[in-house]
Amino acid sequence: MVVDARNISRLQWLQSLDISKDPEHVRKSSIICTLGPKTQSVEMITELRKAGMNVARMNFSHGSHEFHGTTIANVRRSEEIFKGRPVAIALDTKGPEIRTGNTKGGVDIPFKIGHEMIFSMDPKDAQEGSLERLYIDYHNLPKVVAPGRTIYMDDGIMAFEVLEVQENAVKVVARTDGALSSHKGVNLPGSNVDLPALSDKDKSDLTFGVEQGVDIIFASFIRTAQDVKDIRNHLGEKGKYIKIVVKIESTQGVENFDEILAETDGVMIARGDLGIEIPAAQVFIVQKMITAKCNIAGKPVICATQMLESMTYNPRPTRAEVSDVSNAVLDGADCVMLSGETAKGNYPLHAVRMMGDISLLAESAIAYPPLFNELRASVNLPVDTTEATCSSAANAALEQDAKAIICITTTGTSARMLSKYRPSVPILVVTRDYHTARQVHLSRGCYPFHYQKPKPAAAATEVEARDQWQNDVDERIQFAIANALDAGLLQKDDVVISIQGWRGGVGNTNTMRILRADIETPALRTGSAASSRASTPVPGSPDLRPESMLTRTLKHQLSPDSKAKASSKRSKNGVSVSRLQTSFAEIQGELKRVLDGINSGRILESFDILTKLTDAVVVSCEALGLASEAPVVEAFRRDNFWKGLNKCWLLALQNVQAARSDGDRLRNEHIVHLQNSVVRWADALDQYGLVDYEMGFWESDIMDSLDGVLKSM
């Protein structure tokens, strides 16, 4: 029986899932990466973008304006490599906070459960912290706590119960073991803290952000709608284009969420501090509630904190982390965020790729037809013209089996409304406004294309103006199709839905068309200079980077030879034995080149050859006969082949210090790149049982050697 996709239930959809099938579409969830010392360089930012980063986050709780200014400049420089494919820049404020003063002499002071002491608000105690008295810099603390309340310190590691409230102090008893330290954070769950939304540091940072042209503000510890208004007022006329995404991380923020949602441009569920403010077991309820309300309102929602935390120091995530990311996507998060994993972690690129892989597979489990029906039923009628058009376009994409929706927009509102209705296909956003192009990364499924061709000159008559407008729209649609074809988002003759306004200006979106992906006129393909077309794959699309010469040669040699005579000797995979022998000879020759290069001090060149060689072997593993037990070439021993490749890696790593010049030395970023490559190869070979096995790739030994090189730097 054929089930109408429009009427399929969620359970019917889920029971039809099949892990043997590849995901049907490209990834739609955006990935936010926190940039830190390890990922600040142009080279690393470029690699992060190739891996799938959509938004670059700068955490202003750490680092100077000089440091963050350099990071912003490097992100912008990376955009020169990705012509016409913008990445958003987000400034994450430190926010209002409560901290302890300094302990006497700056030493840590251990204490045990049951220890009683005084938390003082008297500034004279600020530098004299002891087991008897410790300064806390929130003067209204006695007014917002009461006996029986809990005060947490150092990210919730230490807990104190309030025994007595005094005029300028609070008496507490320790409920955990711990050590008093200088300048530690303090949390007051359940208390109505009256700190200002913007500290002096926040104001300085926001002014800096406006000067630097950031696209998004992640506003920390937002408790009321007025906090959002205060930030918007501080941004002023120059910063009115900046999108404000509030971070909900306190009980007050949860209680006042509806009024905050009405005022903000987006929401981040900051689960770290939230998990201290409320019981950890309740965080998932808040996550689901906030996500649902944002989905219904059509406002972006971000899930953050410890999503792949273990990948800060390990090449693979835990199963719990995989489920966490997957469930955030299934709940409806537009973006998922990496913090320490990319700011300071050892495997930043692999963490981004892993986040992308998990998100893509999670999206394939979403029951889009019932989800669309739920979203459409959740809105209050009547809706405005723009939303009605976007809802119709999402429905048409479902009924027409369209492969993409093209959105012509100035402010990004129509793109956000399209995203609200969660079409299962990419939303190709074409805009002349660069900030809009960056900011639409906040909304799920949006792929921005910056259209740089200037607006046409004003027409003489109203009729000419309408014709001119439509011609300009048609050129932008063709520009989107051309870029999508180039990037692999569309195939020729795919059905495409487009939405536009009937005239120029904001708020006029009211027209939908059903088109075919084709380029009739080459001139229409150019929308801007040819170089502005996508030069790299979009996140989630197939890797379109050039193959190495050896990979191409092996593919050619190892393809079944249909022209060969039937009597010629063949391997089990249909490839002639002579071709296999030629391929193995070439691989042995490349290994010799690597060792010769190492001995001559040409370290970088040698590792480049070795990396491309290993890539080629992994890609051609089955064709080479390395994935099967039976030899495909007489007298060929798989164990000798793998031993040769693995020993070449280990010998090369033992001699990295033999570089003939500074320019030939491996640097930190080279080692990190090699580590990520090793993990990627091991993942690909694991399906054949060819990892950490005599006849396979020695991942553990090679990773240990790479770690040793990294530590010696």
CA nearest neighbour of 338 among 330, 329, 349: 349
CB atoms within 10 A of CB 14: 11
Tally of CA atoms within 13 A in the half-sphere of 524 that contains its CB: 16
Total residue length of the chain: 713
CA nearest neighbour of 480 among 544, 393, 407: 407
DSSP element (H, E) containing 428: strand 427-431
| Cβ-Cβ contacts under 8 Å for 78 (sequence gap 6 or more) | 42, 45, 46, 49, 87
CB atoms within 10 A of CB 15: 8
CA 544 to chain centre: 19
CB atoms within 10 A of CB 382: 8
Alpha carbon distance 141, 191 (integer Å): 9
CB of 249 within 8 A of CB of 277? yes
CB of 32 within 8 A of CB of 335? yes
Alpha carbon distance 456, 461 (integer Å): 14
- Main-chain phi, psi angles of 708, to 5 degrees: -65, -40
List the beta bridge partners of residue 626. Answer: none
Name the maximum alpha-carbon separation found in the chain.
99
Tracing tokens 């807990």 back to the chain, one arrives at: 159
Long-range CB contacts (within 8 A, 24+) of 271-275: 271/303, 271/304, 271/305, 271/306, 272/155, 272/304, 272/305, 272/306, 273/187, 273/221, 273/249, 274/248, 274/249, 274/250, 275/156, 275/305
- Main-chain phi, psi angles of 134, to 5 degrees: -135, 130
CA nearest neighbour of 339 among 253, 270, 279: 270
Cis peptide before 382 (omega within 30 of 0): yes
CA nearest neighbour of 689 among 641, 628, 600: 628
| Cβ-Cβ contacts under 8 Å for 464 (sequence gap 6 or more) | none
CB of 213 within 8 A of CB of 181? no
CA 391 to chain centre: 27
CB of 303 within 8 A of CB of 333? yes
CA 50 to chain centre: 11
Alpha carbon distance 253, 273 (integer Å): 12
Q: Is 551 helix (H, G, I), strand (E, B) or coil?
A: helix
- Main-chain phi, psi angles of 637, to 5 degrees: -115, 120
CA nearest neighbour of 334 among 489, 218, 445: 445
Q: Is 452 helix (H, G, I), strand (E, B) or coil?
A: coil
Residues acting as catalytic residues: 57, 99, 247, 305
Alpha carbon distance 434, 428 (integer Å): 15
Q: Which two tokens stand for residue 203?
A: 């104001």
